[in-house]
Amino acid sequence: MTNTGSHPARYTDAEGQPTLDNWQEGPHNRWTFAHLGELIPTATIARRFPAAPATAAERLDTLELPDLEERLEATYTDAFLVLQGGQVIAEYYRAGYSPDHLHLIMSVSKSLCGLVLGALIDTGTVDPSAPVLDYIPELAASAYKEATVQHVLDMALHLDYSEDYLDPSSEVQTHDRSAGWRTRTEGDPQDTYAFLTTLTGNGTVGEFQYCSANTDVLAWIIERVTGLRYPDALSKYLWSKLGADLDASITVDSSGFGFANGGVSCTARDLARVGQLMLDGGMAPGGRVVSERWVSSILAGGDPSAMPESSFTALYSSGSYTRQWWCTGNERGNVTGIGIYGQYLWLDPSTHSVIVKLSTWPEPDSDHLHELQNRLLLDVSRALDALTTETESKETAA
């Protein structure tokens, strides 16, 4: 067993952790009977039946894009929502989905983690210029030994980590197995904490390399400085302040560590609320999440010179990445959270709008589908220009 230090306990009134062999026995059952989903797969018993309409629910006419529904279907859309000025003006759900359905948002989860860490940086609890080892000394033998928190936030360090989701020998698949997302194989680290200690690299910093492990390091830092499990920190510093309709969920590994880099599920409407707080300068209905300065630093974009050639820069030549968000650098200033299989949380600051698109592409990554989807998001953004102008004209006339 790898020693990764102390971690926030799932519950504090029992020694050890619950397992499949002891969860029904006291004192573990004082906790497990209310948290069974962390140990055994569970299914939802919907409060409405049928849970979704037989045909896709759609309200798209406002955008005046005549082929919009066909384009949504061509890009495997499950849920699509446009929020302008805090109001839902367009919405679509494919058959089998409804506004109440939680949907896995994959790496859009990273952007949520970035906001939680931003809240802790704003209060001085975390110093972004400090070495990662100041918070997690257990990573001293890993690729993080020379990195600062800011390097990890911006994914600006080299790691020997393949993000090839379809390669069984890739580090991202080992990462998944350690987190309980795939069947474990002999020799896999016992949990995510242990997996992170195994990562190597050449020690260079300053150039962008997309690596899902970085977000889990941030979540480990969050746990270490708050004393909270990551799911609880995500609730305290973000989700509880959104005015969300429903609880979100996050997958956890055998140790109870939340899969911060890609394990969050939520509704399209509640994810749009995350985008709204960004457009509102970090303020949510339940109070401030992050400072206006933190939001402005994201909307301004990161360093394009740190971004190597990639599918993202092929779409946006001035693209960058900062604080767990993708920044297009285009004339509209669009910023987005992106997840594999077609998840997007798209901000359009010029029209004060948020677009959520949750999808199930047949493959994790596709240049073709990314191009179609980004063209769609840009066309919707441009359609919002006309709506904004129309609204402003009516207000002037009044």
Question: In this structure, are residues 369 and 342 in contact, taking their beta carbons and an 8 Å threshold?
Answer: yes
Residues whose CB is less than 8 angstroms from the CB of residue 152 and which lie 6 or more positions away in sequence, other chains included: 132, 144, 214, 217, 218
d(CA 382, CA 72): 17
**Element holding 358 (H helix, E strand):** strand 353-359
Residue reference for tokens 């969860």: 23
d(CA 316, CA 132): 31
Give the Cα-Cα-Cα angle 51, 53, 54 (nearest 5 degrees).
115
Omega into 131 within 30° of 0, i.e. cis?
no
d(CA 4, CA 136): 9
Alpha-carbon Rg for the chain in angstroms:
21
Residue reference for tokens 């904004």: 388
Smallest Cα–Cα separation from 183: which of 192, 195, 174?
174
Q: Distance from CA of residue 332 to its chain's centroid?
A: 22
Residue 121 one-letter amino acid: I
Catalytic entry in 6, 98, 107, 129: 107
Decide if 291 is catalytic.
no
DSSP string for residues in 87-99:
EEEEEEE-TT--T
Residues whose CB is less than 8 angstroms from the CB of residue 73 and which lie 6 or more positions away in sequence, other chains included: 94
What positions carry a catalytic annotation? 107
